[in-house]
Amino acid sequence: METSAAAAAQQQQPQAQKRPREERDTPPQEGSNGSAHATFSSESSVTMPAVSTELAVDVDKPETNTQASAVDVRRSRSRGLAAVGPGSTSPVAATRSSTDGGINCQPAAAVTALSSFSASADARRFKQPTLAAYGMVSDTVALKKEISDRDSHIEELNREVEGLRAEVGRRDDQIHFMDAQCRQYQKKLEHFQLVMRQEMLSAAQKDRSEARRLLYQKHFELGQTATWHSNGQTVWMEGDRVRAMFLKLADLTQKREEVEALKKAAQSNVKHLARQEREREDSGAGPDLQDALMAAQMEYQLRASEHAALTNTIADIKLKQTEIEHEKKAFVKEMRRVNDEDTSEFLAIPTIGEGDRYVLMHLLGKGGFSEVWKAFDLVEGRYVACKIHHIQREWPAQTRTHYLRHAQRELDIMRALDHPHLTHLYDVFPRGDNMFISVMEYSNGMDLDTYLKRYRTFKEADARLIFLQIVDVLRYLASLDSPIIHYDLKPANILLHRDDPTILDVKITDFGLSKIIGTTREGPSDNPSIELTSQGTGTYWYLPPECFETSSTPRISNKVDIWSAGVIFYQMLFGKRPFAEGESQRRIWQEKLIIQSARTLHFPDTPKVSEEAKDIIRGCLAFNERERCDVFQLSQDPYLFRTSRRSAHKAKSTAPAVVGSSSLPLIPPVTDAAPAS
């Protein structure tokens, strides 16, 4: 039976292929079950594989389809079996059963299965070559091989899964261990921070107590302020050391006057005896006056030596008085700081920030609407400066907006700046509705203003080094895409970064009054300018004449900072400011003293400084802004990079020389003129 069926299939297959595609694809019509059954019975072994191939491949291109891999064949077979569904017979299986003749296959069921398979294949757009297309005789062998391959792959995947599960378990153990370690370290860190907080609070309390003890001790030595009960006027009462120095100076001055009188008398006596001795030698008569003349000369030398010693002592006392005056200025500044600290609300608030991160140590200074505290950062383990900005509740809305705008501008500027000689901004956070705090880099040394009050001047080489760092910062600010004018450059805003005063590493701070030269700039690209809309602000001793022009709105550039730097350089060299020294801010503004005095620049005779330094100062303090040097010219001046001063301009010591016997005339010249006073 198998042989006859195969022969019939071979005879009829060419005829089936010659029939049009439409006829082969047309399903049997209703009511023609007999013909359909007859057709299926005679051509089932031919038609079924042809239909299956029609569904799976493009019969017009069998060569291309036969190039598919065996994997694609197995996938096609698997999808074909799945498309028939449970309880149904696939077309290929029906064909095989009809051919073998071992299974009774109903034609209607086969047609139904064929239609179901065709619809499912069309829906999935299934276009894979079937096993029949490759001429595989036994589908069972292929399925068994595919199942075996898949079982092997499943076993391999299971082994990988087990390995991954073991790795995940190991990683979980590591994570749990690290979590436990982190929790342990976190507890230790919290404990250390707690201990450190207590230690820093204790140290802060000790420092405050020590500061008040020293202040109390010094007020006996240097003096203190007192208020008269009659009129309420505040006066300064000198301390014991100052009064003792005044008394000693008065006593030495009186004694020197007495010795000077004796010296003049001895000088007159020497002249008188010398004249008599000449007359005796000329006349040849009279007593011998050599012994008397020798005694008079000895008396004169003794009185002259005593007078010189008293003069030196008085000069030393006056020098000490000058030092005490500078010490008094620093003492008054410290006394004001302690008073501000005692009245600050943060004296009773030891810590601020999230998690009490910052421990407040002591007040550094207080301005109009802000105060700066030295604090310790428990997270980073470093000292910082916390600037506390106060927003008064009673301020009108316009004032509040103006202050917030300036404060925000200062913070924006500090965030954008990155220079080794500029103070860095670390953090900003609010505190309540009327306060916010900015955390900045802390400098261990004193500010330049305190240094000058205490030591008065710098050596020229040291002053040049500080001035060079200031110029470097100004060049950086002028080189930005939106240049910045500091506008409040003064010694109080220049910090010595190290606590060792011999290491002159400085930091510039406080950009509260700074101006940003934006799109409204005018002038050349290397020196743009903007309108000054906030006249009356700043520190007047360090502002140039154009800032005091009130007839019209002046324009300013970075040459404002050049002027300020020149004033600071002058002050470091000579111990005083070049213009309006000793005048109040109010009088300087009302009477425009800078405009009146800045046209003439005077250099004191002492201390001696080089001509190059004076030329630098003249260039910075030119009255006309157009004639003033800009920062790029100034930064290239060879004087700033000299390692030593030229011998022609070396400073000479101004201290009085020690008077010895070799410095006194043995015999004063004898003249008829009156003794010099």
Q: Is the pLDDT of residue 342 over 90?
A: yes
Looking at residue 579, what is its pLDDT?
A: 95
Token pair for 541: 């001793």
Residue 80 has a pLDDT of 44
Do residues 95 and 52 lie in contact, with contact meaning Cβ atoms separated by under 8 Å? yes
Predicted local distance difference test score (pLDDT) of residue 521: 53
Query: Long-range contacts of range 62-65, CB-CB < 8 Å, 24 or more positions apart?
Result: 62/133, 65/129, 65/133
Question: What 3-state class would DSSP assign to 664?
Answer: coil
Residue 553 or 357, more confident: 357
CA distance 578 to 566: 10
Give me the numbers of helices (H) and strands (E) for the chain, helices first please: 18, 14
Mean pLDDT of 403-421: 90
- The predicted structure's pLDDT at residue 224: 87
Task: pLDDT band for 288, please (50, 70, 90 cuts).
Answer: low
Model confidence at 326: pLDDT above 60 = yes
pLDDT above 80 for 24: no
Higher-pLDDT residue of 278, 282: 278
- 55 in Cβ contact with 24 (< 8 Å): no
Of 88-92, 187-191, 332-336, 617-621, where does mean pLDDT reach its minimum? 88-92
| Mean pLDDT value of segment 38-42 | 37
pLDDT band for position 525 (cuts 50, 70, 90): low
Return the structure tokens found at 74.
């197995």
**pTM of this structure:** 0.64
Whole-number pLDDT of residue 275? 86
In the annotated binding site, the residues are 387
292-318 confidence digits (pLDDT tens): 888 889 999 999 999 999 999 999 999
pLDDT digit string, tens, across residues 116-139: 545 554 545 444 455 455 555 467
Spatial contact of 485 and 514, defined as CB atoms under 8 Å apart? yes
pLDDT value of position 472: 96
Residue 287 confidence (pLDDT): 67
For the segment 487-500, the average pLDDT, to the nearest whole number, is 92
pLDDT of residue 536 exceeding 50, the answer is yes
Q: Using pLDDT thresholds of 50, 70 and 90, give the confidence band for residue 404.
A: confident
Which residue type, as a one-letter code, is found at position 396? Answer: P
Q: What is the mean pLDDT of residues 382-396?
A: 91
pLDDT > 80? residue 256: yes
Average pLDDT rounded to a whole number, residues 639-659? 49
Neighbour tally for 582: CB within 10 Å: 6
Are 619 and 640 in contact, with CB atoms under 8 Å apart? no
Sorting pLDDT into bands at 50, 70 and 90, what band is 522?
A: low
- Predicted pLDDT of residue 301: 93
Q: How many Å apart are CA 120 and CA 132, to the nearest integer?
A: 19
Residue 54 has pLDDT above 80, yes or no: no
Cβ(234)–Cβ(227) below 8 Å: yes
Mean pLDDT value across residues 206-224: 91
Query: What is the DSSP code string of 153-167?
Result: HHHHHHHHHHHHHHH
Which of 350-364, 440-454, 512-526, 593-607 comes out lowest in average pLDDT? 512-526
Confidence of residue 399 (pLDDT cuts 50, 70, 90): confident
Residue list for the binding site for ATP: 387
pLDDT: which is higher, 327 or 579: 579
**Mean pLDDT throughout 636-641?**
92
Q: How confident is the model at residue 56 (pLDDT cuts 50, 70, 90)?
A: very low
Question: Over 70: is that where the pLDDT of 595 sits?
Answer: yes
Residue 257's pLDDT band, with cuts at 50, 70 and 90, is very high
C-beta of residue 473 within 8 angstroms of C-beta of residue 422: yes
Q: Are 618 and 567 in contact (CB under 8 A)?
A: no
pLDDT at 535 over 60: yes
Q: Which two tokens mark 122?
A: 């069309």
Which entry of 449, 488, 561, 630 is annotated as an active-site residue? 488
Between 329 and 611, name the one with better pLDDT: 611
> Average pLDDT of the chain?
78
Name the percent of the chain lying above pLDDT 70. Answer: 72
Parallel/antiparallel/unpaired status of strands 506-508 and 494-496? antiparallel
pLDDT (0 to 100) of residue 520: 56
Q: Give the model's pLDDT for residue 661.
A: 33
Which candidate, 532, 593, 520, 524, places its Cα nearest to that of 560?
532
Average pLDDT, integer, range 30-55: 39
Q: What is the mean pLDDT of residues 203-230?
A: 89
- Residue 389 and residue 509: Cα distance in Å, rounded? 16
Residue (of 554, 451, 532, 447) closest to 487 by Cα position: 532
665: left (phi over 0), alpha (psi -120 to 50) or beta: beta
Active-site residue flag, 488 = yes
